Amino acid sequence: MDEIKKKIKKIDLRRKAFKKLMKRKRIYRRIEDSLAKRRKAERRFAAYGKVAVSIALIFLSILFFNIISKGYTAFVQTQILLPVTLTAEDLNNDNSQAILIKGLQDLFPDSSSNIRKLLPLLSKSAPESLKKVPADGLNHEVWLQASSPVDMFNKSGLKNKNKLSETQAEWVKDLDQKARVRRVFNTSFFKSGDSRDPERAGILGSLVGSILVIISCMLLAFPLGTMTAIYLEEFAKKNKFTDFIELNINNLAAVPSIIYGLLGLAVYLQFMGVPRSAPLAGGLTLALMALPVIVIATRTSIRAIPQGIRDGAIALGASRLQVTMHHVLPLAMPGIMTGTILSIARVMGETAPLLMIGMMAFIVDVPDSFLSPATAMPVQIYLWSDSAEQGFIEKTSAAIIVLLVLLAAINAVAVYLRKKFEVRW
């Protein structure tokens, strides 16, 4: 009986051990199933992220391809080699148009009945190039800028005639066969202002206008925003009034830009009498936009400074102002500069506020002061995109490329300053 009881006891122990083992296996299986579900969810989430990034990159690539494919041709221009004979009498009597027609007739002797179709092959700026030709009565070969229809026809591989007639297209093909047509870098795009003629239009006026606008903007926004942030973080007492100010600063950063344009129109133009379409008016208006961004960036940089630095300076006898100016502000300056540069990048691409204060006028001359009539690059792009001329389509895309390069350079400077002067606590 004892042996039977022992065997039964061993069997019971084995059963209990087996049950524990099975229970553990079920627990392990549940854990493994749970871990498998988590890993599967993580892989699925990572896949969603990759798909989202891929879609964003695809759209970004389409955008860049669309802009670059339409705009890169604007960086070159078409020129025509024309035989010109200039005398002192022609120079005094300003017979440039007759000289150009004669040169074209020398190339096409059979075009006497189509004289009116000859001159449109050249740009309206061609007479200005004749001033460089010696007035000695001898025959000279001069490269003259072609008109926009000829330029677009040449860039399309002599296929898309655009506004050229059949006769004019044949003349251009004939000039191309005689090696009297060439493409050169379009320096006038960077050295001239706006124009009604696409081949003469440039971005210099709008680029200088944007620079003047940014300078006048930062002269107001940077010191005012920095001092506001220093006061709120280092000197102001925490009460309902400062909470109200902080709330409004955060809200101002999200206000639509057109509202700032209306405010600038009412305050700077109508109340203060700042000249309409002047860079000063644009800069003061955009300063309202940049101010909240600079304040928030400056406060964030100041908050990142460890409290121990302030306590150590105070323990050594420094005043509150000395602690701020000699210790906190220098350490926070990299972050402040980064936020300021990013705010410059933001306001440089704004259009709506500038439209509200009248910086959308047709300005040919390059502005020479903060009170001169001017326009900005985003507004110039808007005006060109609204033109029906095909030549302005490539100029619009080319101006966008230049603006994107400038914005990328500004952001690169911000990243460089942050990496170079960043202090990790």
Q: What confidence tier does 115 reach under pLDDT thresholds 50, 70, 90?
A: confident
User: Residues 279, 374: contact at Cβ < 8 Å?
Assistant: yes
Mean pLDDT of 310-325: 87
Average pLDDT over residues 335-360: 85
Nearest to 65 by CA among 390, 400, 379: 400
Mean pLDDT of the 376-389 span: 86
Examine the pLDDT at 241 and tell me if it is beyond 80.
yes
Q: What is the mean pLDDT of residues 215-237?
A: 90
The CATH class for the domain spanning 204-421 reads: mainly alpha
pLDDT at position 212 = 92
Over residues 53-65, the pLDDT tens digits come to: 999 999 999 999 9
**What is the predicted pLDDT for the residue at 335?**
84
Give the long-range contacts of residues 411-420, CB within 8 A, separation 24 or more. 411/341, 411/342, 411/345, 413/341, 414/337, 414/338, 414/341, 414/342, 414/345, 417/334, 417/337, 417/338, 417/341, 418/334, 418/335, 418/338, 420/334
pLDDT at position 413 = 82
Quote the CA–CA distance of 314 and 323 in Å, as a whole number: 7
| Residue 80 or residue 362, greater confidence | 80
What is the reported pTM? 0.82
Alpha helix (H) residue ranges in 138-185 = 148-155, 166-177
Query: Which contacts (CB < 8 Å, 24+ apart) does range 48-51 have?
Result: none
- Specify the amino acid at residue 372: S
Q: Is the pLDDT of residue 100 over 90?
A: no
Give the residue, 380 or 11, on which the prediction is more confident.
380
396 Cβ neighbours under 8 A, 6+ residues apart: 70, 71, 381, 384, 385
